[in-house]
Amino acid sequence: MKKQQKIFLFVGLPFIAFFIFIISISLVIMGTFMTVFVIVFIIGFCLNKKDRALNFTKLGILLFLIFFIMYPNIFDWGNQISRRIDKHQLITSNSPKIAILNNSFYDWYSKYNDTYFGVSSTTNFNDLNEILQVKLVQFFIYNHSNPNQIIDYSYDFMAPSRWAYDHLATVDEILNANATHGTDDCDGIAVVTCSLLIYMGYDAYIAEGDFHWWTIVFFNGTRYWNENNPVMLNWWPEVGKPYYLFNEKYTIFPQPLPISMLNVLSETGNYVYGDFYYDVLIGKYINPILAWIAIISIFLLLSIGIQYFLIIPRRWKFKKADLTEILFGWSTITIIGITLFFLVHFNLAIYGHLLVFTSLTVIIFSMSQKLPQKLPFFRLFVR
């Protein structure tokens, strides 16, 4: 067995296997994008027979580094992996903090029900319409209009205690000792809301959609969908339909998983490329000229990064010939970036993922095969 093959067997293969395992237990959104990313890199530079073992080893190391960047707290890996394998454990309606929260809710209702929902303070909570009941519970836990909300929204990567791309927390971790306050993002809000509703006797579930978790409540002892059933809390139409639901006992897939993965790739383009790309370039956050200069500079760094990844560990320094691939990658990525901008502008962001991932595959494959060196235009720059 050659040295490259031994290194792959003991280094590359375990890393790739670990990442595939993470994909298999990840949520629909993250699992979909991780899968596409792996496919892009396999097609891009691992299919070539030359140095195939080395390339797969590099891929394994790259995938592990991506995982580490997303989840840098190694002491948190155990519980995060466990909670993705068994998401039911996130919902703890039997937690003492939920019992405290339940009492706090009824105290809050007696004080503020006529303030926010116009319900008479003499109206018993149990006499209200069930839909209004669960909406009041959601309003109590999290709503921008409620200055006394229990949970304040905060992104995982901005909270030192759960610093990660997507940290899954339990009720006991989200709420403070007295269950009077907590901070988390949408998944933490859904965990607390669903746990409390189950404690109160409702048929509640957590749902995952396009980059969002929310709470769903079924009524009348049925889980058939119609105009009034179920009720979706902390949800808005742009999020779309759920890819799956779960509570402490059950998991429901409204449609086959492959269809959900296709929906992710077709439905999230507006959010990904609109909010985080197009809006920046049209000057929503910074001067548009500076934005374009910044994004084109990022494209250059991306091209340099791809080329460097392709040449290591054969050599650790660039040569003049590498400029051909770098210029090819930079110019091609820039053209793709401009095309993507106009796709969003003309409401065609649905094709954004197809453009980005297909083009990235072609760029990586072309650079790995040194195809730009055969193009006269790019050869002019390295004479």
Q: What share of the chain is helix, strand, coil (3-state, %, to 5)?
A: 65, 10, 30
The single-letter code of the amino acid at 115 is T
Of 199, 231, 258, the last residue of a domain is: 258
HEC per residue, the chain: CCHHHHHHHHHHHHHHHHHHHHHHHCCHHHHHHHHHHHHHHHHHHHCCCCCHHHHHHHHHHHHHHHHHHHCCCHHHHHHHHHHHHCHHHHCCCCCHHHHHHHHHHHHHHHHHHHHHCCCCCCCCHHHCCHHHHHHHHHHHHCCCCCCCCCEEECCHHHCHHHCCCCCCCCHHHHECCCCCCEEECHHHHHHHHHHHHHHCCCEEEEEEECCEEEEEEECCCCCCCCCCCCEEECCCHHHCCCCEEECCCCEECCCCHHHHHHHHHHHCHHHHHHHHHHHHHCCCCCCHHHHHHHHHHHHHHHHHHHHHHHHCCCCCCCCCCHHHHHHHHHHHHHHHHHHHHHHHHCCCHHHHHHHHHHHHHHHHHHHHCCHHHHCHHHHHHHC
pLDDT above 70 covers what percent of the chain? Answer: 97
Confidence tier at 383 by pLDDT (50, 70, 90) = low
> Do 111 and 225 belong to one domain?
yes
Domain annotation covers residue 56: yes
Domain annotation covers residue 79: no
Q: What CA–CA distance (Å, rounded) separates 57 from 45?
A: 12
pLDDT at 224 over 80: no
pLDDT tens per residue across span 19-73: 999 999 998 999 999 999 999 999 988 877 778 899 999 999 999 999 999 999 9
What's the token pair of residue 213? 């978790």
> Do 92 and 229 belong to one domain?
yes
pTM of the model: 0.90
pLDDT at 1 (0 to 100): 64
CATH code at 154? Answer: 3.10.620
Domain annotation covers residue 113: yes
Within its chain, how far is the Cα of 272 from the centroid?
10
Across 113-122, 205-214, 258-267, least confident range: 113-122
> Do 285 and 216 belong to one domain?
no
Most confident segment among 114-118, 123-127, 216-220, 302-306? 302-306
Of 25, 44, 70, the last residue of a domain is: 70
> Do 64 and 183 belong to one domain?
no
Residue range(s) defining the domain that contains residue 288: 269-382
Determine the angle formed by the axes of helices 52-70 and 28-41, rounding to 10 degrees: 150
Please count the CA atoms within 13 angstroms of the CA of 274 that sit on its side-chain side. 14
Mean pLDDT across the chain: 91
> Do 20 and 119 belong to one domain?
no
Domain annotation covers residue 149: yes
pLDDT at 381 (0 to 100): 61
Helices (H), 245-287: 257-267, 269, 279-281
pLDDT at 382 over 80: no
Which backbone phi and psi does 271 adopt, to 5 degrees? -70, -50
> Do 239 and 91 belong to one domain?
yes
Domain count, the chain: 3
Peptide bond into 313 cis (omega under 30): yes
> Do 218 and 93 belong to one domain?
yes
Of 11, 35, 70, the last residue of a domain is: 70
What's the token pair of residue 180? 């009077």
Confidence tier at 121 by pLDDT (50, 70, 90) = low
Which backbone phi and psi does 304 adopt, to 5 degrees? -60, -45
Which backbone phi and psi does 258 adopt, to 5 degrees? -60, -35
Q: What CA–CA distance (Å, rounded) separates 195 from 4?
A: 51
Q: What CA–CA distance (Å, rounded) separates 251 from 120?
A: 38
For residue 252, the cross-strand partners are: 245
> Do 102 and 249 belong to one domain?
yes
> Do 115 and 215 belong to one domain?
yes
Confidence tier at 337 by pLDDT (50, 70, 90) = very high
pLDDT tens per residue across span 171-214: 999 999 898 999 999 999 999 999 999 999 999 999 999 899 99
